[in-house]
Structure 1
Amino acid sequence: MTTTAAVPTDTERLFSTKHLPVAIGVIALVTLGAFENRATISIMPTAARALDGLAWFGPANAASMVTFMVAVVVAGRWVDRAGARAVLLAGLATFAVAQVVTAIAPSMAIFIAGRGLSGIAEGLIDVSTLVFAARALPEHLRAKVFATFAAAWILPSLLGPGAAGAAEALVGWRLVFLLPVLLLIPALLLLLPALRRASAQPDDDEATIVTGSAAEKPLLPALGLAAAVALLSVGGPLAFDGGQHRFAGLASLVIGGAALVATIRAALPAGTLTAAPGIPAVVALRTLLVIAFGGIGGYLPLMLDVTHDVGPALAGISLSVTGVFWAAGSAIHSLDAVQRRLDAAARVRLGLALIAVGGIGPVLLALEVVDLVPGLAGWALAATGMGLSSPSLATEIFTLAPEREHGQATATSQIGASLGAALTTAGGGALIAARHDTLDGGVFAVLMGISLGAAVIALMLTHRMRP
């Protein structure tokens, strides 16, 4: 009797008839989120100026991250108990409300509240989408679906900043926040077959009664962590923007710092702060990865707008570079040859090295040592590294965690990433508030240099990803 190695059949391909509804549905969601993200980041400096709130640019960015931290914990529990479909629909409804609130905001306070709602929506959508895809697809297709997620950012990254700039020039910045609501309609239509398929499955396949330590992860530490980040984000502008609220701002920073120290260990998996092998190390690496990459990319549009005097459309070119080369890195990550020859730690290590080297380009651009093209060429290298690192860490979470705890594991990973982004934004927001009248390239070079340091630290921890 002759035996042959098992070869994936047509039904095991990502875009085969069997998996097509899920693939198309989740890609539509990622594309919608990408358009909203790229357009929002491009238009944020303009909106902040229009609402006379440039000093509050940091809190406006941090608002969605603060609420995201709590939302992902709720979403993780909800998904493990009721399935991904209900959480996903709730997230989409919240998304629509958040965009409308932001668009009609008469003041910076309401604008920040709208961004907070957006973070809730993002938390619900992110966790439910990742778990929905992971449970619906076999393990060998996970790297490929994450590659398609990155590819789904290409068109929004190319068109989103330009569309935001054109909408702002023709109608005003508020339209930029309403456009994603209109795009939600075709995304829902594409998602319906996958949702019908999920609702047709037996309840036991969609929801699992979760037991064990991961299921008992308390919500209170996440609330405390979110409150700490909120206090730190607000405290910076209050303390350093030159206004009359200096002492209130300093008090906010002190209380926020104390709350951060008190809650961070309980909110993250045990051992995260010491990068203990396994899931704690993966969460720690995701946090450092976001600080390393997001701490540069998050300030590139503002840096170009402030120090190089360009409008939203041209400032958003950095986002186009990010999307295209992140997708290129993710496509490389998904290649069968790469998956065979490099384990997850090696792929993350290579990606972090590219971020550390490529990130030097934006620093030199901020200091006006190099021009726009070489500066963004370095950023393209960093984005390629992000495309290699990010999906490797995302798929590793599903490999290390039992299936019944996928929701909780995804949530804790997302909390770590959001914490890294929020701390970067809070620190940068405080510095920008202190220098908002005299911003120069040196401020942005300092912020980006700190991020490069995070990439170097992460490089030294990659060997701890597996227990």
Structure 2
Amino acid sequence: MTSTTAVPADPPVDLWSPRLRAMTVGSVALVSLLAFEALAVGTAMPTVARSLDGLGLYALAFGGSFASGVVAMVASGIWCDARGPRPAMWHGVAWFVAGLVVAGAATTMEVLVVGRVVQGFGSGLVSVALYVVVGQAYPEQLRRRIFAAFAAAWVVPSLVGPALAGLIVEHLGWRWVFLAVPAVAIPAALLVQPGLRALTGTVATRPPAGALARIGWACGAGASAALLHYGGQQRGALAAGLITAALAGLLACAPHLLPAGFLRAARGLPTVIGLRALASAAFVAAEVVIPLMLSRERGFSPTGAGLVLTVGALSWSVGSWIQGRIGSPRSAATLPRAGLACITIGTAGVASALLPGLPVLPAVFSWAVAGLGMGLLYPSLSVLTLAQSAPAEQGRNSSALQLGDSLAAATVLALTGAVLAAGSSPGPASYATTLAVAAGCGLLGLVLAGRVSPRPAT
């Protein structure tokens, strides 16, 4: 048997129609919580490591969560295709909440790392299940709007998450960065529950073929990603050796988790997922270097450099809002091309901050253009993924989309760290190299964007 979903006779025309209102509120709230926790933990972790005397496990607290999330994305895709999104969603929320409680109550760094691994597994389950919910609960004409709402749900945590986490750490203690989130996560999941119940139809009686093998490859990719994360924080020959081993592991495992033809940009879904990975690599590469470049080359304070990143987050939201309200594009490649053009121009333009004779404003404007491109691109690629997925493959393809994104970001972060650490200290050459790589990723995506549509059947 395969999954089936009943389509209502009169599909709603608005995200806030009675049938979708609770689903929309709950889903957006869950995305916001995942975003807040991802951003807030980075602010709190230095205090956590000092409090628990666990600086030696600092990197593992991040890498372990990332690795378990990779495994969970694949597992969630398999689960959603076999049983619908409801079980994966509920288990994801349960794992997420349990991990937060374990981390918040930890008395040693080892226990906190365990909590982070559990939390990351829950996040991976939920993130893929939410995409399948969109594919099954929302009519096609509303999908770009709900993905725009998901993008906006990242913006507020981007703006206030680190500052709010800092206030919580200072006035309530670091434990509440973890322990306060379940109070909102559980009600949000309850809002989604009625809509999830309506999506449950006939389901497969056994896991899809090759499911266990995919889980094994996911474990290998997760371990390689964690090693890549750890290696990116080291220096010298050790860093080079760890990064090389991690990249070899990813190259061995990732092709088994991504669509056939991904590495050669085959038409249709492989290119859609490849563009998401390239865009993520481009944006992350530029984002990680901007604060360092502005502070060291232009004398910006940490707050000032952070405000520049905020400009990109806001324009990302604007781009998502725009793409959600325009009519049907002339072709499937229109929005991806526009987004990748903005990303390419924007990340290249950020390098103008390296020219002492120019004001910083052009670089700030360029970063806004890059953020606008991400807002145009990300929801459109999510919609194309669902449109090119059979109902029984929405989970697998949604997990591949997010997996490619995550692995590309992890890879470029590690390589960027290696570039910045190559000399005695980061300088204009290393910044320019990183931004050139970012713009190059965007340009490659722009060249490939016309391949997002499958080849017409003959």
The TM-score with structure 2 as length reference comes to 0.83
Question: Quick check: 1:218 aligned with 2:214?
Answer: yes
Question: Quick check: 1:282 aligned with 2:272?
Answer: yes
Change (3 A) 1:300 1:347: same
What is the identity, as a one-letter code, of the residue corresponding to 2:217? Answer: P
**1:9 to partner: Cα distance:** 6.9
Q: Distance in 2 between matches of 1:169 and 1:439?
A: 32
**1:160 to partner: Cα distance:** 2.0
Which residue of 2 is the match for residue 243 of structure 1?
none
Q: Is the 8 A contact 1:215 1:405 kept in 2?
A: no
**1:222 to partner: Cα distance:** 2.0
After superposition, where does 1:168-183 map in structure 2 within 5 Å?
168-170=169-171, 174=174, 178-179=176-177, 181-183=179-181
Which residue of 2 is the match for residue 295 of structure 1?
285
**1:195 to partner: Cα distance:** 0.2
Q: Distance in 2 between matches of 1:294 and 1:40?
A: 18
Change (3 A) 1:212 1:170: closer
Q: Deviations over 1:384-420 (max 9, x none)?
A: 1001000111111111110111111111111111110
Moved more, 421-430 or 293-302: 293-302
How many residues were matched structurally?
445
Q: Distance in 1 between matches of 2:107 and 2:240?
A: 28
Q: Is the 8 A contact 2:232 2:413 kept in 1?
A: no
Q: Distance in 2 between matches of 1:219 and 1:81?
A: 14
Q: Deviations over 1:161-220 (max 9, x none)?
A: 332343455566x35xx3364243234324423303423x37426x45588768686222
Q: Is the 8 A contact 1:10 1:16 kept in 2?
A: no
Which residue of 2 is the match for residue 391 of structure 1?
379
What is the identity, as a one-letter code, of the residue corresponding to 1:310? Answer: S
What is the identity, as a one-letter code, of the residue corresponding to 1:464? Answer: R
Which residue of 2 is the match for residue 419 of structure 1?
407
Which residue of 2 is the match for residue 317 of structure 1?
307
Change (3 A) 1:232 1:116: same
Question: Quick check: 1:409 aligned with 2:405?
Answer: no
Task: Give the alignment partner of residue 448 of structure 1, picking from 430, 435, 439.
Answer: 435
Which residue of 2 is the match for residue 228 of structure 1?
224
What is the identity, as a one-letter code, of the residue corresponding to 2:135? Answer: A
Q: Is the 8 A contact 1:84 1:132 kept in 2?
A: yes
Change (3 A) 1:58 1:450: farther
Which residue of 1 is the match for residue 133 of structure 2?
132
Q: Distance in 2 between matches of 1:289 and 1:401?
A: 21
Which residue of 2 is the match for residue 428 of structure 1?
416
What is the identity, as a one-letter code, of the residue corresponding to 2:17? Answer: S
Moved more, 284-293 or 46-55: 46-55
Which residue of 2 is the match for residue 160 of structure 1?
161
Q: Distance in 1 between matches of 2:288 and 2:363?
A: 15
Which residue of 1 is the match for residue 192 of structure 2?
194
The TM-score with structure 1 as length reference comes to 0.82
What is the identity, as a one-letter code, of the residue corresponding to 1:357? Answer: I
**1:29 to partner: Cα distance:** 0.9
Which residue of 2 is the match for residue 185 of structure 1?
183
Q: Distance in 1 between matches of 2:55 and 2:410?
A: 18
Q: Distance in 1 between matches of 2:442 and 2:246?
A: 25
Moved more, 127-136 or 424-433: 424-433
CA root-mean-square deviation: 3.6
**1:300 to partner: Cα distance:** 4.0
Task: Give the alignment partner of residue 353 of structure 1, picking from 335, 341, 347.
Answer: 341
Change (3 A) 1:169 1:193: closer
Which residue of 1 is the match for residue 261 of structure 2?
271
Instruction: Quote the sequence identity (%).
Output: 33
Which residue of 2 is the match for residue 332 of structure 1?
322
Q: Distance in 1 between matches of 2:349 and 2:48?
A: 28
**1:362 to partner: Cα distance:** 3.6
Q: Distance in 2 between matches of 1:233 and 1:145?
A: 32
After superposition, where does 1:26-45 map in structure 2 within 5 Å?
26-41=27-42
Q: Deviations over 1:225-246 (max 9, x none)?
A: 2222333333344452xxxxx5
Which residue of 2 is the match for residue 204 of structure 1?
201
Moved more, 397-406 or 50-59: 50-59
Question: Quick check: 1:256 aligned with 2:243?
Answer: no
Q: Distance in 2 between matches of 1:305 and 1:73?
A: 39
**1:67 to partner: Cα distance:** 2.5
Q: Is the 8 A contact 2:11 2:139 kept in 1?
A: no
Moved more, 408-417 or 444-453: 444-453
Moved more, 260-269 or 59-68: 59-68
Unaligned runs of 5+ in 2: 1-8
Question: Quick check: 1:463 aligned with 2:453?
Answer: no
Instruction: Tell me the SS of whatever aligns to 2:453.
Output: coil
Q: Is the 8 A contact 1:158 1:320 kept in 2?
A: yes
What is the identity, as a one-letter code, of the residue corresponding to 1:142? Answer: R
**1:101 to partner: Cα distance:** 5.3
Q: Distance in 1 between matches of 2:45 and 2:392?
A: 39
